[in-house]
Amino acid sequence: MKDLQTHFTQIELSEPAPPELPIGSDLKVRVLLSCGSGCDLSALPLTVTGPDGQAATITASPDHGAASAEDARDMTLTAPLAVGTQAWTIRFASHERDGILHTECTLPVCITTRPHATSLAVWAVPSPVVMGERFRIKVGAKSAAGCGLGGTKILISDQGGSVIAQGSLQDTPWPGTSALYWTEIEVPAPDREGMFWCTVNFAAADIATPHERSSSKFSVAIVRPPEHRLTIEVLERDSKAPIEDAQVRLGAYRAATDFSGRAEVAMPTGTYDLAVWKVGYEAPVQTVDVREDASVQIEAVIVPPENPDAAWLM
């Protein structure tokens, strides 16, 4: 009886697998099977066993050409919906034909799966807020995988880390978006004046599909209760025409002028720097001492647009 010739085989990936994958995602890989003696192995099957223990057969890729010492096969690895180290085993079983024994070989593929990433958005934050009162904000959360996040808790903590408010995301996304799940939460303001910082936390533990926790910060100016009403009138200096939609700022207080060029701000006693801004106009900053209800008039100057060719005309 004639002795068998032994040919050694090898399995490798055309490119290294990434060390991490989000749970449930697919990874396309190209598996290379080769014989050290140059035999064509394309007709012989490979098997792949996944983290769940299920095995599947991989045949040669449709674009496999003429016989060669390297057989390429495409496959897709699907990460399970679990976080941690996941292992696949690709195996070529020993095969005897025409007096040649091709040895068995295996290739382990190990990848760490991670939760889906999430992002937070905070908007409609009022400022200023009177000390001791309650205010409302809107919070939205989005899954990088587009998963539904309805019912997930949102926690709001103060600067010391204590939870001061919470809510649950609605079951439908914010209008005009496909996956930004949102809620409106009422937050208590502290009984002290100054900047108040809060942290919004996405409690990912409530979701069946693992997601990463995420957080975002926002701040609110906390002020004393209003005592007086200041009326600001903004006019164009030469024509005395009212300037509409000019932005008015007095410390933490904001307002915008109406069609008559007027804006009203309720505020406590104090001294404030009054600044007015609108594109195409320029107005000086004015110091205002508020001790009672009062009115102040600001005259703005029209600023001519810059000539982009001015530098070439010098």
pLDDT at residue 203 in the model? 84
pLDDT at residue 67 in the model? 43
Bridge-based pairing state of the strands 55-58 and 46-49: antiparallel
Does residue 209 surpass a pLDDT of 70? yes
Summary mean pLDDT of the chain: 91
End-of-domain residue from the set 204, 223, 242: 223
Q: Mean pLDDT over residues 12-27, rounded?
A: 93
Does residue 204 surpass a pLDDT of 70? yes
pLDDT band at residue 310 using 50, 70 and 90 as cut-offs: low
Does 61 lie in the same domain as 129?
Answer: no
| CATH classification of the domain holding 79 | 2.60.40.650
Does 200 lie in the same domain as 244?
Answer: no
Please give the residue range of the domain that contains residue 141. 118-223
Q: Mean pLDDT over residues 23-51, rounded?
A: 92
* Helical ranges in the chain per DSSP H: 310-313
Tell me how many degrees the CA angle 136-232-129 measures, rounded to the nearest 5.
20
End-of-domain residue from the set 114, 138, 159: 114
Does residue 62 surpass a pLDDT of 60? no
**Amino acid at position 46, single letter:** L
Q: Mean pLDDT over residues 171-194, rounded?
A: 95
Query: What pLDDT digit, counting tens, does each position of 220-244 carry?
Result: 999 999 999 999 999 999 999 999 9
Residue 189 lies in a domain: yes
Query: What pLDDT digit, counting tens, does each position of 111-164 carry?
Result: 999 999 999 999 999 989 999 999 999 999 999 999 999 999 999 999 999 999
Does 288 lie in the same domain as 265?
Answer: yes
Does residue 66 surpass a pLDDT of 80? no
pLDDT band at residue 307 using 50, 70 and 90 as cut-offs: low
Number of domains in the chain: 3
The arrangement of strands across the sheet holding 270-277 comes to: 253-256, 247-250, 270-277, 286-290
Does 270 lie in the same domain as 171?
Answer: no
End-of-domain residue from the set 197, 223, 249: 223
